[in-house]
Amino acid sequence: MAENRGGGSDKLVYFLIGVGIGAVTASLFAPKAGSELRSEIADATRSGVHYAHDTGRQIGERASDLTARGRKAVIDLTDRGKELINSQKAQLTAAVGAGKQGYRKAKQYDQGKVGAAVEETV
């Protein structure tokens, strides 16, 4: 089955087609004077134009709202990502520092043992 992806624009097109068909049908079968008929057609056309304008404005407002929400979400996610990276960076720096310190202590300990062993043999 086909999905309706057009949203409001499809509805607008169908509405305008309906207005056109209705105007033609009314002009063929209406027992009214020409000026009265033209007035009704003009009124129907005006209401169709107003409907199209209102629908377009609503779609524009929704698009602006969604764009603003999307930007905010991107900024929030970017900030959270930066915070996470900085946290991980700090943890890694601390781990590297602790590793260096442990290496130095182990090296000093090993040098002390080797020095003591050399003194014992002499």
pLDDT digits (tens, 9 = 90+) for 63-118: 999 999 999 999 999 999 999 999 999 999 999 999 999 888 888 887 776 555 55
Q: Is 102 among the domain residues?
A: no
Q: Is 45 among the domain residues?
A: yes
Q: Which of 58, 47, 52, 57 is nearest to 22 (CA)?
A: 47
Distance CA 80, CA 6 (A): 35
**Out of 2-16, 19-33, 65-79, 98-112, which region has the weakest mean confidence (pLDDT)?**
2-16
Give the chain's domain count.
Answer: 1
Distance CA 16, CA 22 (A): 10
Q: Is 55 among the domain residues?
A: yes
Q: Is 119 among the domain residues?
A: no
Angstrom distances, CA of residue 67 to CA of 25, 62, 99: 42, 8, 47
What's the angle, vertex CA 35, arms to CA 33 and CA 39, rounded to 5?
115
Q: Is 34 among the domain residues?
A: yes
Q: Is 120 among the domain residues?
A: no
Q: Is 113 among the domain residues?
A: no
Between 14 and 76, name the one with better pLDDT: 76
Q: Which contiguous run of DSSP H or E holds residue 24?
A: helix 8-29
| pTM passes above 0.75 | no
* Domain housing 78: 8-96
Q: Is 108 among the domain residues?
A: no
